[in-house]
Amino acid sequence: MEQITLQGALPRVFRASFPGDSDIWNNDVSFSRGRLYLVEAASGKGKTSFCSYVYGSRDDYDGSILFDDQAIPRLSPGAWGEIRRSSLGMVFQGLRLFPELTAVENVCLKNRLTAFRDEAWIRAAFERLDIADKMDAPVAKISFGQQQRVALIRALCQPLDFLLLDEPVSHLDEENCRRAGELLREEAALHGFGIISTSIGKHVPLPYHGTFHL
């Protein structure tokens, strides 16, 4: 996938009272593979909706979203499975980790689908993000900031064209924020994928190519 395009997309809840001051909603916007984007907004502007629409987990919007030339509502559950393991990744705001599994099991649950990373890479990633000691801890027992880093590692366990990040560092301190940014920048450069990161204030330190206001 080379391009994600939004054509006049607008959440249906905004239909009645949309002020028309968004770079994305009700506009034609394209995101290209290999480039880094920041989507900034105050609360309630629809950041999570934006990520959910692109990731295909919700479709309560008008207008259309296209992957290259394909309109995404036409994709089957099986096709979404394929896209989500080989092309499009996401770190959810709510993380969607499985609390009863350990941190490393959560990562492996994704990696066994793609077989994209080996054990050494996963261990190294845990070390880089300073959570190596939590690898075998149940996710329910670690802090939200630590969980955010587990979710980030999990999201990198697949071939990517685009990675969506929904407020991925909201609970990280400056140092960990920097580490996360570094890892993401390296991986994006190495594999050539694009990043679309949303933020209400604290954002991942990356050399962004473009910034949008929702």
Residue 174: CB minimum distance to other proteins, A? 30
Output the smallest distance, CB 9 to other proteins, in A: 17
Q: Which stretch binds other proteins (CB under 8 A): 23-31, 94-102, 165-173, 192-200?
A: 94-102
Q: Is 186 in the site for other proteins (CB under 8 A)?
A: no
105 binds other proteins per the rule CB under 8 A: yes
Residue 133: CA count within 13 A, CB half-sphere? 3
- Taking a C-beta distance cutoff of 8 angstroms, is the pair 45, 17 a contact? no
Helix/strand/coil for 89 = strand
Q: Supply the minimum distance, in Å, between the C-beta of residue 61 and other proteins.
A: 13
Bridge partners (DSSP) of residue 70 are 67
| Smallest separation, CB 110 to other proteins (Å) | 5
- Return all residues near 199 (Cβ < 8 A) that are at least 6 apart: 38, 39, 40, 167
Site membership for other proteins, residue 184 (CB under 8 A): no
Task: Report residue 106: phi and psi, to 5°.
Answer: -60, -40
- Residues numbered 45 to 84 that lie near other proteins (CB under 8 A) are 55, 57-59, 77-78, 80-84
Strand order in the sheet with 61-67: 28-32, 3-11, 61-67, 70-71
- Residues 134-163 close enough to bind other proteins by CB under 8 A: 154, 158
Binding site for other proteins (CB under 8 A): 55, 57-59, 77-78, 80-86, 90, 92, 96, 98, 100-101, 105, 108-110, 112-114, 154, 158
